[in-house]
Amino acid sequence: MNWNIPSLKELEKHFWRCTACGTCRSAYDYGPPPNARPICPAGTEFGFEGYYSSKGKAAYARGVMDGTLDFDDPEFLEAVYKCTVCAGCQNQCQVDFKPHIPEVIEALRREAVARGAGPMPLQKNLVQSMKNYNNPYQGPRRVRTEWTRPFKKAKTPIKNINKKSAPILFYVGCTGAFNQVARAVPTATAQIFQKLGLDFGILGENEVCCGSTAMRLGDAAEFKRVATANLETFRNLHEERGVNTIVTSCAGCYRAIKKDYTLSSDFDKMMAGIKVVHTVDYLYDLLQEGKLQFEKELPWTVTYHDPCHTGRHLNKFKVDKDGSELWEGAYVDIDESECLYDKPRKLLQAIPGVELVEMDRIRANSYCCGGGGGVMTGFGDWAAKNAGIRVAEAMETRAEKMVTTCPFCHYNLNEGAKRSGSSMATHDLTEIINMVLPEKG
Ligand code: SF4
Ligand code: SF4
């Protein structure tokens, strides 16, 4: 299987176009404050005018390409990895080199890995764990299904799709399976699916990491290994087990399968007849069809945190390919139809008693929780501190709870609240829906 993952050299014409204007400093909606608030977690922690923000990263890319900078400088290497790859900068940048800022940062990291320097030491353990165990959490295969034990005990076991056919594969993801706090997410998802009477199965111990973390860290070889294995599994499941829909509750897995996997030359062939959706998509469609009805009331005031991976990571920038609209390579428009901005909010608002109040930085301007891009593993204290900033923003809204749709954000925001002494709790949307959904009648 061939993969078309661009090298730093191939992105050169894009990062030279950064004018260091600094527009990527703030989240703004082309209106007055209060919407203009910092958007870059790295800039917020280490100083935007330093070299940690996107304009600094673009300068780094130029320095590496012309030989001025090398990864043998530990401070330089660390700065390359001090970025959550949240794409907040890219959403603000109005220069015509979209959609390339996170791509440049990841290509810079691929260059660091290729030269034997990257990723950071703690992140190397994560990649080694993927090689040993097919997950980044150093968890043996049997631990992957621990979250399913209560289902067996309750005599409602979840179907193993390797043994029995089902039209829906619930792709759990490593964070939901191995992280004790985030296990609430697959548990709630499976309970919802059972209440709705859906015919679904899981890969269980045979599930392999989606590769998102490896890709964000610049380890293209490891990404390609697991992504190829997954595409082959999906094809086999379609042909032999009747799978036509893959549902995941993990924002990282969703982004990887939906976007990173399209870099495979065989993507269309391998995924023919298979639809990939986030649980939010799936449940929203059922809501529209009148098949999802909430009976119980939940008198909560909540605020919604948009994960980067189900939000702006999925937007599509329209670029003038041949100069017929503006000039060749110019960014001319944005398509946000695949970004999950409205659907989770509409699901929340459909729950009797729930009041949704918004933070300043939402949707494409969402402030990253701080856990992405390998930061939670490589720089855990900073990840939790940044989550504390987001929790404080939620506290400004008078919300009693935060809601999100990503096990990574779920874990990190709860960790940030704990470490900053806040009483704010973050729930996954599936947990909330599970609370108000009646038992299977
Ligand atoms: S990345 Fe874009 S917005 Fe940021 S400094 Fe460069 S040109 Fe300006
Ligand atoms: S991807 Fe996020 S953390 Fe990295 S430079 Fe851009 S805004 Fe900052």
DSSP string, 240-283: HH---EEEES-HHHHHHHHTGGGGBTTHHHHTTT-EEEEHHHHH
- pLDDT value of position 295: 84
Check pLDDT > 60 for residue 31. no
**Three-state secondary structure call for residue 86:** coil
| Digit-coded pLDDT (tens) for 41-79 | 999 999 887 778 888 999 999 999 999 999 999 999 999
Check if 104 has its Cβ closer than 6 Å to any atom of ligand 1. Answer: no
| Digit-coded pLDDT (tens) for 164-192 | 999 999 999 999 999 998 999 999 999 99
* Ligand that lies nearest to the alpha carbon of residue 87, given by its number in the listed order: 2
Residue extent(s) of CATH 3.40.50.1860 domains in the chain: 130-288
Q: Determine contact, residues 73/353, Cβ cutoff 8 Å.
A: no
Residue 382 Cα, ligand 2 centroid: separation in angstroms? Answer: 14
Which ligand 1 atom lies nearest to the CA of residue 20? 5
Paired tokens of 342: 């409205």
Check if 20 has its Cβ closer than 6 Å to any atom of ligand 1. Answer: yes
Residue 15 Cα, ligand 1 centroid: separation in angstroms? Answer: 9
Which pLDDT band, with edges at 50, 70 and 90, does 33 fall under? low
- pLDDT value of position 2: 96
Check if 62 has its Cβ closer than 6 Å to any atom of ligand 1. Answer: no
How far is residue 374's CA from residue 383's CA, in Å, rounded to a whole number? 10
pLDDT (average), residues 202-219: 97
- pLDDT value of position 50: 72
Which pLDDT band, with edges at 50, 70 and 90, does 401 fall under? very high
How far is residue 76's CA from residue 254's CA, in Å, rounded to a whole number? 31
| Closest C-alpha to ligand 2, atom 4 | 83
Mutate to test the pocket of ligand 2, among 54, 97, 103, 361 (most ligand atoms within 8 A of CB): 54
Residues with CB under 6 A from ligand 2: 39-43, 53-54, 57, 83-89, 102
**What is the CB-side half-sphere exposure of residue 47 using CA atoms within 13 A?**
4
Which residue carries 């874990």 as its tokens?
Answer: 411
Residue 55 Cα, ligand 1 centroid: separation in angstroms? Answer: 5
Paired tokens of 201: 């199965």
Check if 49 has its Cβ closer than 6 Å to any atom of ligand 1. Answer: no
**What is the CB-side half-sphere exposure of residue 341 using CA atoms within 13 A?**
17
Q: Determine contact, residues 397/303, Cβ cutoff 8 Å.
A: yes
pLDDT (average), residues 240-253: 97
For residue 425, the cross-strand partners are 401
Check if 402 has its Cβ closer than 6 Å to any atom of ligand 1. Answer: no
Residue 137 Cα, ligand 1 centroid: separation in angstroms? Answer: 35
Overall pTM surpassing 0.75 (yes/no): yes
Which pLDDT band, with edges at 50, 70 and 90, does 29 fall under? low
DSSP state of 3: B
Residues 6+ apart with CB under 8 A from 241: 161, 162, 164, 165, 166, 201
| Digit-coded pLDDT (tens) for 85-124 | 999 998 888 776 665 789 999 999 999 999 999 999 999 9
Paired tokens of 390: 């987001």
Which ligand 2 atom lies nearest to the CA of residue 88? 7
Q: Which fold has domain 130-288?
A: Rossmann fold (3.40.50)
Residue 364 Cα, ligand 1 centroid: separation in angstroms? Answer: 17
| Closest C-alpha to ligand 2, atom 8 | 40
Which residue carries 């944005």 as its tokens?
Answer: 334
